[in-house]
Amino acid sequence: MKRRPQYGKHAADSPSRRPRREQRDKWPLSPEHLAPRTFDLPEGPLPEIVVKSPTRSVAIFRKRVGDYGNKAQHGDVVQAVLPSGQVLGCGLFNPRAEAVLKMLTWDDEIPDANWWQARLKRAVDIRSELALRKQSNACRLIHGEADGLPGVVVDLFDNILSLEAYSLGMFQRAEAMIKELMYHTRAKHWYVRSAPNTLQTEGYDHPGHASSKVPAKCRIEEHGLSYEVDFATGHKTGFFCDQRANRLRLREFCAGKTVLDACCYSGGFSLNAIAAGAKEVIGVDLDENAVAMAKRNANLNSGQPRFIHADAFAYMRDMQRNGKTFDVVVLDPPKLILSRDEADVGHRKYYDFNRLAASLVAPNGILVTCSCSGLLSTPEFVKMVTAAIPFARQPQLLALTGADADHPVALNVSETEYLKCAWVRL
């Protein structure tokens, strides 16, 4: 599912290589635009941005917006109005982004300090009600649009908050959000980082920052297994909580089996296969740091999967040529569709990856195939998997799952249903 980059010296046609993107904005915003902000609004009326036609989309793109002059600054809370003067709602403004407005509220509701505090508390309360802490001491606290806070995600790893901002306005308010979340949780430390490609998508670039004396690593527990979270070399917030339930479910299929974990990252699926009593487990990833972390995670737990630093696509192609098969193949590639412009190329890469993975599944074996591309809908994903598997293999869809409950889906934002996991018997 992974959102991690895949680079290397392997064949350029490998789907595990992240597609290139052109840089629209060569120069990042100047540092004063990145200064931290509080939740307080300035006195007086909010700057107005005219939206040409009614919409309930959280992201309002440039083509839907009229002239906005220079009253609104980068990251400001603004009021969106229709040409008639009717108030649409309030959002975060960034003229450097394609989505120049990310809506926070609708109609006459104003996102003042009380609004932010209530929105953050509600998100924390929902996670507390899910009783996830019985399963793990790692949890997603804020899941962007699904929690009414577009452009930011926050995970809690033991007592460390890890925030990743996808929008300029949220990056400016990151420390304010962290402060509020620390009040509602046991967190003592924090990290703030920008998502990949914010220079292209939002026009700013920042290496991130952290609280004083924050540990570079921490250890978390999940379903009886231990994992290291390395904030320096780990991707995104440091660990992928979204696959929690799927990692546990894999155990149902692995006792006494041979397992291939393609794009294994830090070894989560591999370690659960070992915990279930698999007789052989091989994890493959092109990211050298991820493989090193997977090996450290194996040392924290009983059983030793074999982790290999290699391009997963090239490795599977070698296994295919050698006639090697596995009882269970887990395919969890990086995000292969980064924008709508890349949809067709990404579809082909997912198809190629799945066709190759299916060829390595032994008769009556299981293919667990995932996609973390929000722009690939669940029906499209199932259709692609079906097409990639030869009809003669008689595929049976046993289950179709997604992210765990701390990653809710906003029904009005289809991209929040980003994680798809198909469990297919061949």
pLDDT band at 34 (very low <50, low <70, confident <90, very high): very high
pLDDT average, residue stretch 198-215: 93
pLDDT average, residue stretch 83-93: 96
Q: Which of 72, 91, 106 is the last residue of a domain?
A: 106
Please indicate, yes or no, if residue 81 is contained in any of the structural domains. Answer: yes
Structure tokens at 244: 């929690």
Structure tokens at 232: 């320096």
Please indicate, yes or no, if residue 215 is contained in any of the structural domains. Answer: no
Q: Which of 106, 121, 141 is the last residue of a domain?
A: 106
Average pLDDT over the chain, rounded to an integer? 92
Say which CATH number the domain at 362 has. Answer: 3.40.50.150
Interval 342-355: pLDDT, tens: 899 999 999 999 99
Phi, psi dihedrals of residue 305, rounded to the nearest 5°: -65, 160
Please indicate, yes or no, if residue 9 is contained in any of the structural domains. Answer: no
Interval 113-163: pLDDT, tens: 999 999 999 999 999 988 777 789 999 999 999 999 999 999 999 999 999
CB-CB contact of 367 with 357 (8 Å)? yes
The reported pLDDT for the residue numbered 3 is: 37
Please indicate, yes or no, if residue 152 is contained in any of the structural domains. Answer: no
pLDDT band at 280 (very low <50, low <70, confident <90, very high): very high
Residue type for 226, please?
S
Q: Which of 106, 123, 145 is the last residue of a domain?
A: 106
Please indicate, yes or no, if residue 346 is contained in any of the structural domains. Answer: yes
Neighbour count for residue 93 (Cβ, 10 Å): 27
| % of the chain exceeding 90 in pLDDT | 84
Torsion of CA 219, 223, 224, 230, to 10 degrees: -20
How far is residue 133's CA from residue 139's CA, in Å, rounded to a whole number?
A: 8
The reported pLDDT for the residue numbered 154 is: 98
pLDDT band at 229 (very low <50, low <70, confident <90, very high): very high
Please indicate, yes or no, if residue 390 is contained in any of the structural domains. Answer: yes
Residue whose C-alpha is closest to residue 396's, from 365, 375, 370: 365
Domain count within the chain = 2
Q: Residue 299 pLDDT > 70, yes or no?
A: yes
Distances (CA, A) of 266 to 11, 84, 229, 277, 292: 24, 53, 9, 19, 8
Please indicate, yes or no, if residue 287 is contained in any of the structural domains. Answer: yes
DSSP 187-218: --EEEEEEPTTHHHHTS-----EE-TT--SEE
Which run of H or of E encompasses 114?
helix 113-129
Q: Residue 79 pLDDT > 80, yes or no?
A: yes
The reported pLDDT for the residue numbered 15 is: 55
Q: Which structural domain, as residue segments, surrounds residue 372?
A: 236-425
pLDDT average, residue stretch 304-328: 97
Q: What is the 3-state secondary structure (H, E, C) of 2-62?
A: ECCCCCCCCCCCCCCCCCCCCCCCCCCCCHHHHCCCCCCCCCCCCCEEEECCCCCCCEECH
Q: Name the DSSP letter for residue 334.
A: B
Please indicate, yes or no, if residue 319 is contained in any of the structural domains. Answer: yes
Interval 8-23: pLDDT, tens: 323 334 554 433 434 4
Q: What is the pTM of this model?
A: 0.90
Distances (CA, A) of 283 to 14, 79, 332: 18, 50, 11
pLDDT average, residue stretch 183-189: 95
The reported pLDDT for the residue numbered 68 is: 82
How far is residue 39's CA from residue 161's CA, in Å, rounded to a whole number?
A: 19
Say which CATH number the domain at 66 has. Answer: 2.30.130.10
